[in-house]
Amino acid sequence: MEIISKISKGTKMDQIYIPKNRQGFNTGSYVIIKPIETQKKLEKPYFYNIQQIEPIKLEIINEIFSIINSISPENIIITGSFIESGFNFNDMDILIITNDKIKEKNIEKQIEDKIKIETHVITMDETLLREGLSTDPIWRMMISTCISKKRLIPFPKIRLNYKLLDIQLLKSKSLLDNFDYLNGNEKYKSIRNMVAILLFIKNKKINKRIVNEKIEELFKIGIEELKQNMLDKKSFIKKYKKIYNEIFNKIMKGIENATKQEKIN
């Protein structure tokens, strides 16, 4: 016979009450007291612009949340290729929102030792996150499609920092310089980066699905075909240069206007 009861706080000694009407456990009997293992109910994570995810991935994410919870973060965000459909990913991108200083490499090692998946951990506070969401189209795109432990903060309004956008656009120039040496995935990332900047400058909503749809509209090619490097170089480069130069000119004009405004002030 087993009886489950709760430890109560007493004046001099803590105690356990059991009912008098019972079979066995006679007064004076010796018994063993041990804790009951209870399984904590998992909190359902928040999904943003994700239709579905494989059950095994969700188990991995819950395991990661459990590991990182030990440092009491404000939030944990999983983004990148891991949360895309299928298993074509190399690592996991994990963003930890916290005001504390944390050694990211230590967290990466803990996770990798337990789940055997390479991770890329970034830590920042909420102020820096809001700054990135307001000024950086790539951050805005990545965080718009994610799984988070807690509800995300409302996205701030877009604020155009043309000097930052100039640096970001430079990453897409490598496609023009190294077209013959880049594989399909590398070309896709350069195009996605450029199109995200284009939508950002136009103050449009950004997430991976919207950016992918815009890529298909502009270049008349499916995303999978693009990733498989099925591009006609001559027609593609012509279109790419045109869009790149349009964005570049808008950024340069923005920098020029901002410089003039600074002089006036």
Report yes or no on 229 lying in a domain. Answer: yes
43 pLDDT tier (thresholds 50, 70, 90): confident
Our CA angle for 134, 139, 144, nearest 5°, is 90
Answer with the one of 108, 124, 148 that is the final residue of a domain: 148
Q: What is the mean pLDDT of the chain?
A: 89
For residues 89 and 130, state if they share a domain.
Answer: yes
Same structural domain for residues 215 and 237?
yes
Q: pLDDT tens digits, residue range 177-188?
A: 999 999 999 999
Residues 185 and 132 in one domain: no
Residue-wise pLDDT for 62-77, tens only, equals 999 999 998 889 999 9
pLDDT for position 1: 61
How much is the pLDDT for 41? 56
Please check whether residues 97 and 168 belong to one and the same domain. Answer: no
Q: How far apart are CA 188 and CA 212, in angstroms?
A: 10
Based on the structure, what is the number of domains in the chain? 2
Same domain, 204 and 124: no
Interval 115-140 mean pLDDT: 94
Full DSSP string of 169-189: HHGGGHHHHSGGG--HHHHHH
pLDDT of residue 25 exceeding 90, the answer is no
In whole angstroms, what is the distance from residue 109 CA to residue 127 CA?
Answer: 27
Other beta carbons within 10 Å of 19: 8
Residues 57 and 136 in one domain: yes
- Tell me which residue range forms the domain holding 192: 162-264
% residues pLDDT > 90 (the chain): 69
d(CA 151, CA 69): 16
Check residue 16 and give its pLDDT.
80
Q: For residue 192, name the pLDDT band (cuts at 50, 70, 90).
A: very high
**In this structure, what CATH number is given to the domain that contains residue 118?**
3.30.460
Q: In this structure, are strands 75-79 and 7-8 parallel, antiparallel, or unpaired?
A: unpaired
Establish if 124 belongs to a structural domain: yes
Is residue 73 located within the same domain as residue 143?
yes
Residues 249 and 212 in one domain: yes
**According to the model, what pLDDT value does residue 9 have?**
74
* Residue 112 is assigned to a structural domain of this protein: yes
Residues 149-164 as b/e (b if ≥16 CB within 10 A, e otherwise) read beebeeeeebebbbee
Q: What is the pTM of this model?
A: 0.79
Task: Check residue 38 and give its pLDDT.
Answer: 53
Pick the last residue of a domain from 116, 148, 180: 148
- Let me know if residue 15 belongs to a domain: no
30 assigned to some structural domain: no
Same domain (yes/no): 166, 235: yes
Query: Both 209 and 178 in a single domain?
Result: yes
Cα(168)–Cα(188) distance, rounded to whole angstroms? 15
One domain for residues 133 and 166:
no
What confidence tier does 265 reach under pLDDT thresholds 50, 70, 90?
Answer: low
- At which of 90, 120, 148 does a domain end? 148
Whether the predicted pLDDT of 252 surpasses 80: yes
Are 136 and 176 contained in the same domain?
A: no
Q: Hey, which residues does 146 pair with through a beta bridge?
A: 48
Does 16 map to a domain?
Answer: no
In a domain, 187, yes or no: yes
In a domain, 2, yes or no: no
